[in-house]
Amino acid sequence: MAKKETSFLKLVLSLTLITVVAAAALAAVYTVTKEPIAQSIIDKKNKAIQLVLPGFDSKKGTIEEQKVLLKDLPDSLTLYIAKMDNKLFGMAVETYTKKAFSGRFDIMVGFDTQGKILGSEVLKANETPGLGDKIDKKKNPKFALQFNGKVLPDFKLKVKRDKGDVDAITAATISSRAYCNAIENAFEAYKMVMTQYNTPNSIDSTQTTK
Amino acid sequence: MSKLKVLTNGFLKENPVFVLVLGTCPTLAVTTSANNAVGMGLAAAFVIIMSNVIISLLRPVTPNEVRIPIYIVVIATFVSIVDYVLQAYVPALAESLGIFIPLIVVNCIVLGRAEAFAGKNNVFDSFLDGVGMGIGFTLALLIISTVREIIGNASYFGHPIKALVGNEMLIFVLAPGAFIVFGFIIALVRALQKK
């Protein structure tokens, strides 16, 4: 009986010891990598803003953040309102869709002041490798680039099968539709914020009232 | 067993993927491109080596009854470390490997080697076994992904192969293609071994 008890104690001790050491090691690594991880997320976002707003010089201009909650979506969209020389340059919208093949993906879309799409970048997506992941222009330039230069709402943000203007990716219609949906969400948010700047080219009056 | 044999065991004779048929889930899932395969292979190799060494070191204080929980704690710790480090310093790779890094925890190769080898052998042999298995796993992933990426996506390591563009056979980057390639390669390896 006594023998069994010591062995039980030994089991508990060895397991406890090992888990404590493992926890300490994890805590150490977590502390060291926390900063770089946060930084790499910010870098990625800034880079994406830069990429979807070609021509915008972040050294000369400023970027304001604004969050917009759309009525059908659970999370708010973040708009990065870019201004140069006190004039509205355009907006980068961090948007997402809930209609992706794998549930959700996040993209960044850039608009100028007239509703023209300047560019789009995939931020976070989990679409099927080899099929849906072609929404990323690094994997398949044709799809994502077709939106650049298109003016909403004249350009019908639907795949051709749904009588729209968008060429879908072969064998990845759901992902293509989802991409359109994400841009559509971005455009909704963009329109809401744009109403604050009722005359597109003179924004100072509305913005700098104290 | 000679040291060299311990090391090379994992390459072909006891290749974790083609002969032991362990870790099939990540194998089939990440081999859509050669880049992913190498990234996943090296990350898993790191975990196998480290966990083999630690588990072998802990042998004197590991009671037989709780060895499996201890193995799992050690493995899970290393996986989390790999996950954090990749996210912090190689975000691009962390992104493309996505869910598969945490999945190394349930990769039976790691636990399989801990149970079958590291729990019974000395530290140096366990280290060699880890290196061999890690290389074997990476090689296996690379072989499968080579076939799948070239035929299925007309590219290799992300570089398009002009001669094949337009003739991609999509099925090879999908799950069924993975099984087909996997089956053929296992058959080939068995045929080679019988000789």
Interface contacts A/B by beta carbons within 8 Å: 70
- Residues paired with residue A80 on neighbouring β-strands, in sequence order: A65, A92
Domain boundaries, chain A: 56-207
**Does residue A207 register a pLDDT over 80?**
no
**Does residue A121 register a pLDDT over 70?**
yes
Q: Which of residues 79-118 of A touch B (CB under 8 A)?
A: none
Tell me the mean pLDDT per 10 residues along chain B, length 195.
Answer: 80 85 85 86 89 90 85 89 88 74 80 88 92 93 93 85 83 90 93 83
Q: How confident is the model at residue A6 (pLDDT cuts 50, 70, 90)?
A: low
The closest CB to that of B74, out of A7, A22, A29, belongs to: A22
Which chain B residue has its CA at the smallest distance from A22's CA? B77
Residues from chain B that touch A131, judged by Cβ atoms under 8 A, are: 170, 173-174
Cis bond before residue A153 (omega within 30° of 0): yes
**How confident is the model over A67-114, as pLDDT tens digits?**
888 888 888 899 999 888 888 889 999 999 999 998 899 999 999 988
Residues from chain A that touch B175, judged by Cβ atoms under 8 A, are: none
State the residue range of the domain holding B164.
3-194
Domains identified in chain B, total number:
1
Q: What is the pLDDT of residue A204?
A: 45
Q: How confident is the model at residue A141 (pLDDT cuts 50, 70, 90)?
A: confident
Q: Cβ–Cβ of A14/B62 closer than 8 Å?
A: yes
Instruction: Give the dihedral sign, CA A35/A37/A39/A42.
Output: negative
Q: How confident is the model at residue A5 (pLDDT cuts 50, 70, 90)?
A: low
Best probe of the B interface among A7, A13, A15, A18, by most B CBs < 10 A, is A18
Q: How confident is the model at residue A140 (pLDDT cuts 50, 70, 90)?
A: confident
The closest CB to that of A15, out of B70, B88, B173, belongs to: B70
Collapsing DSSP states into helix, strand and coil, what is residue B159? strand
Shortest Cα distance, chain B CAs vs residue A33, angstroms: 6
- Residues paired with residue B155 on neighbouring β-strands, in sequence order: B160
Q: Cβ–Cβ of A40/B36 closer than 8 Å?
A: no
- Of the candidates B143, B140, B85, the one whose C-alpha atom is nearest the C-alpha of residue B107 is B140
Distances A164 to A72, A153, A160, A183, B152 between C-alpha atoms, Å: 22, 12, 5, 14, 29
pTM above 0.95, yes or no: no
Chain B touched by A192 (CB under 8 Å): no
Q: Give me the half-sphere count of Cα atoms (radius 13 Å) on the Cβ side of residue A178.
A: 26
Structure letter (DSSP) for residue A5: H
**How confident is the model over B120-142, as pLDDT tens digits?**
889 999 999 999 999 999 999 99
Q: Cβ–Cβ of A14/B80 closer than 8 Å?
A: no
Residues from chain B that touch A40, judged by Cβ atoms under 8 A, are: 87-88, 91
Q: What is the pLDDT of residue B53?
A: 93
Q: What is the pLDDT of residue B1?
A: 60
**How confident is the model over A146-165, as pLDDT tens digits?**
999 989 888 888 898 888 89
Q: What value does the mean pLDDT take over residues A31-45?
A: 90
Q: How confident is the model at residue A7 (pLDDT cuts 50, 70, 90)?
A: confident
Shortest Cα distance, chain B CAs vs residue A118, angstroms: 24
Best probe of the B interface among A32, A37, A39, A47, by most B CBs < 10 A, is A37
Q: What is the pLDDT of residue A199?
A: 53
DSSP class per residue in B27-76: HHHHTTSHHHHHHHHHHHHHHHHHHHHHHHHTGGG--GGGHHHHHHHHHH
Strands A62-68 and A87-100: unpaired
| Interface residues on B facing A, Cβ-Cβ cutoff 8 A | 32-33, 36, 58, 61-63, 65-66, 69-70, 73-74, 76-77, 80-81, 84-85, 87-89, 91, 95, 98-99, 152-153, 170, 173-174
Q: Cβ–Cβ of A15/B88 closer than 8 Å?
A: no
Residues from chain B that touch A126, judged by Cβ atoms under 8 A, are: 98-99
Residue for token digits 């000395």? Answer: B122
